[in-house]
Structure formats: C-alpha cells, structure tokens
C-alpha cells in the first residue's frame, strides 16, 4: 500500500519506519526543508530521531500535494496546534478521500476541540468513516528500536478497524482496536497534563508516593471529564488510558515529564521552551483542558494546579501544597 506520513517529527518518523518495514511504500511529508534534506542525505532523521537508520522504501517530500497524490492511506502525525494550518488551507481537506490514521494527541486551543472533533470539523461528518485515531504507550525511539509496543486504534467505522490494524501490526508492534474514539483521544491528550504534574513533583525531589498519587488521582480526573464527554470509563483502564498515562508520567523519554521536572527545579516556562526543539503537547493542552473543565463544570484539581504553574507563574511548591490542603473527601 502507498502510505503518506504527514509530519516528520520523532513519532511520525518512527511510524514511517514501522510501516515501511511492514512492506508498504512510504512517503514522509515534512514542513521543514532541513528535516527533509537530512532524511534524504543520511537515511535517518538526524534532527528528531538521530541514530536510527531508515529503510530504503521511505521517500520524503516538502510538497503536500505530492504526498496526497502518493497516498492510499495517510498517517497524520503533526502537532495538534498545527492541524488546522496543515489541512485547513487551500481546500486540502476537501481533496482527501482516503483513510487517515491520526497520531496527534491534544486539545485545540480556544476551540477546546479534541483532535477527533477537529478532524470531523475539517473533513465533515460524511468523511468521518475515513478517520482513525492511534494512541497508547509508545515512545518513538523505543518503537524505532523494535522494542515490544502495544497501542490502540479507534475509529467511527468498526468494520474497517481490522484492515487499519494490519497496516501497523507486526512481531514487535501490537495494535488493538476500539470504537471509543472520544475515550482514546481524551486519554492521549490528558496524560500529558498529568506527566507535567508528576515531573513537577520529581523536580521538587518528592518520591514514589507522590508520583503514584498524582497518577492515580490524575486518572480519576481524566475519567470524570471523559464521562462528561461521552467516553466509556473502561477505555481509560486500557492502553490509551492507564497505559499511556503510566508511561508518560514515569518514562525518562517523556517530553512533558521533562517540562515538569524543570518547572519543579525553578525554571520558567519560557526558559524551558527555548531549550526544546520538539513540542511538549501537554503545555497547550493544559490551558485547553483547564478551560474545558471550567466550561463543563468538571472538577480537575491537578489540571488546575498545572495550569497555575504554567500560565500564572505560581511556584511549583505552592501548587503542591494547595493540592494537599484541599478539604478531605471520599475517594
């Protein structure tokens, strides 16, 4: 199958490598000429996935129309806040009529749209049967090194999920399926917020007790918001929920946890972002999730605390103390 991967970051590159090794004809689209040139010249993404050789059946282009012409299936791996720019201009969405597997995780700023709702808005309800969403515990580098990984793919058309699973599934990458699109998308978005929270605690040199409490109570927040939006609570017990949450909150490769650690150590958000080349999706997602929770009347104290640290310059230690000082209640 001819597959175009839209987005040449670490995760898009790792997915391109995976499906190329599964025998597909792959084209990576990059908005950056430097990244595209690096892949062509070195057969590796020296900017975002250094040290990982890429198969010969991967091509690269900066021409979006060329990527569309190539594609029998699209894998979309752009940052969430760039989706509208990538697909919403030049009537691109209207020209696309092939399955799209979306690997972005987040909530759009201002509109508070989940990625699934953003794609439905851009492509229209009539094309939602073409939309699938990949999420779960999957660090790009570990995937690229062929370490065993399991993820979940959600879609509006359950009958087509098996054919999408087969594109990715192999001896080191196991793809499960679910019809709960909202649950998969919300779990993938909010785990980044909780990863910043656990990072803050780690940066303050708190221990495993603190980290465990944040992960557990963070999951409770995710479930509360998920139920309000129509997700199935059991989805959050699976790979796209608890699985991704634990990975992102504890793994050393987690960009969002790294942001939190540096916040806990006293760095400002501006300083942290100036040092990072890759996007930490949890930063804009925190603002969106905070506003969405307020709009829907859902209590999310950990999300609120992270928001205060990121956007109101509240000292990290004060935010933790306020969380611990809340009134007692039943679990």
Q: What percent of the chain has pLDDT over 90?
A: 91
Find out whether 34 and 160 touch, Cβ atoms under 8 Å: no
Average per-residue pLDDT in the chain? 95
Q: 68-106: per-residue pLDDT in tens? A: 999 999 999 999 999 999 997 657 777 899 999 999 999
Residues forming the active site: 191
**CATH 1.10.1040.10 intervals, the chain:** 183-324
Q: Tokens 């990121």 sit at which residue?
A: 310
pLDDT recorded at residue 89: 66
- Assign domain 183-324 one CATH number from 3.40.50.720, 3.90.850.10, 1.10.3720.10, 1.10.1040.10: 1.10.1040.10
Q: 220-250: per-residue pLDDT in tens? A: 999 999 999 999 999 999 999 999 999 999 9
Torsion sign (Cα): 256, 164, 123, 240: negative
Q: What percent of the chain has pLDDT over 70?
A: 99
Q: Residue 7: is it exposed, middle or buried by C-beta count within 10 angstroms (0-12/13-18/19+)?
A: buried
Q: How confident is the model at residue 197 (pLDDT cuts 50, 70, 90)?
A: very high
Q: Tell me which CATH code domain 2-180 carries.
A: 3.40.50.720
Cα–Cα dist 233/183, whole Å: 8
Q: 142-189: per-residue pLDDT in tens? A: 999 999 999 999 999 999 999 999 999 999 999 999 999 999 999 999
Residue 98 three-state SS: coil
Find out whether 68 and 96 touch, Cβ atoms under 8 Å: yes
pTM: predicted TM-score of the whole model, two decimal places: 0.95
Q: For residue 168, how far is the Cα from the chain centroid?
A: 17
Give the number of C-alpha atoms closer than 13 A to the C-alpha of residue 247, restricted to the C-beta side: 20
pLDDT recorded at residue 242: 98
Q: 50-68: per-residue pLDDT in tens? A: 999 999 999 999 999 999 9
pLDDT recorded at residue 275: 87
pLDDT recorded at residue 88: 79
DSSP string, 242-281: IIHHHHHHH-TT-HHHHHHHHHHTT--HHHHHHH-SS--T
Which range is least confidently modeled, 241-250, 264-273, 321-330?
Answer: 321-330
Q: 118-132: per-residue pLDDT in tens? A: 999 999 888 999 999
**CATH 3.40.50.720 intervals, the chain:** 2-180
pLDDT recorded at residue 84: 94
Instruction: Read off the pLDDT of each residue in 266-289 and give the average, rounded to a whole number.
Output: 91
């Amino acid at each position: 199958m001819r597959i175009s991967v839209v987005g040449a970051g670490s995760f898009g590159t790792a997915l391109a490598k995976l499906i190329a090794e599964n025998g597909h004809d792959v084209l990576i689209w990059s908005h950056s000429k430097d990244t595209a040139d690096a892949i062509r010249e070195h057969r590796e993404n020296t900017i975002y996935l250094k040290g990982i050789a890429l198969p010969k059946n991967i091509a690269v282009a900066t021409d979006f129309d060329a990527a569309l012409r190539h594609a029998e299936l699209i894998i979309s791996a752009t940052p969430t806040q760039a989706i509208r720019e990538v697909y919403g201009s030049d009537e691109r969405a209207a020209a696309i009529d092939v399955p799209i597997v979306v690997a972005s995780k987040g909530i759009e700023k201002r509109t508070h749209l989940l990625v699934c709702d953003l794609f439905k808005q851009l492509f229209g309800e009539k094309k939602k049967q073409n939309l699938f969403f990949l999420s779960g515990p999957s660090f790009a580098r570990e995937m690229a090194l062929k370490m065993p990984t399991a993820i979940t793919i959600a879609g509006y058309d359950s009958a087509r999920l098996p054919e999408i699973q087969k594109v990715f599934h192999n001896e080191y990458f196991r793809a499960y399926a679910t019809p709960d699109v909202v649950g998969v998308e919300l779990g993938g978005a909010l785990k980044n917020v909780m990863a910043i929270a656990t990072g803050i605690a780690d940066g303050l040199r708190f221990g495993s007790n603190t980290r465990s409490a944040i992960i557990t109570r963070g999951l409770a927040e995710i479930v509360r918001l998920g139920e309000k939006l129509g997700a199935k609570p059991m989805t959050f017990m699976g790979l796209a929920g608890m699985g991704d949450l634990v990975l992102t909150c504890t793994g050393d490769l987690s960009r969002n946890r790294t942001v939190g650690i540096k916040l806990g150590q006293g760095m400002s958000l501006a300083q942290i972002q100036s040092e990072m080349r890759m996007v930490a999706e949890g930063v804009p997602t925190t603002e969106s999730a905070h506003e969405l929770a307020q709009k829907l009347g859902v209590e999310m104290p950990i999300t609120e605390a992270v928001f205060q640290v990121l956007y109101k310059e509240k000292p990290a230690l004060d935010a933790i103390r306020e969380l611990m000082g809340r009134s007692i209640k039943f679990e």
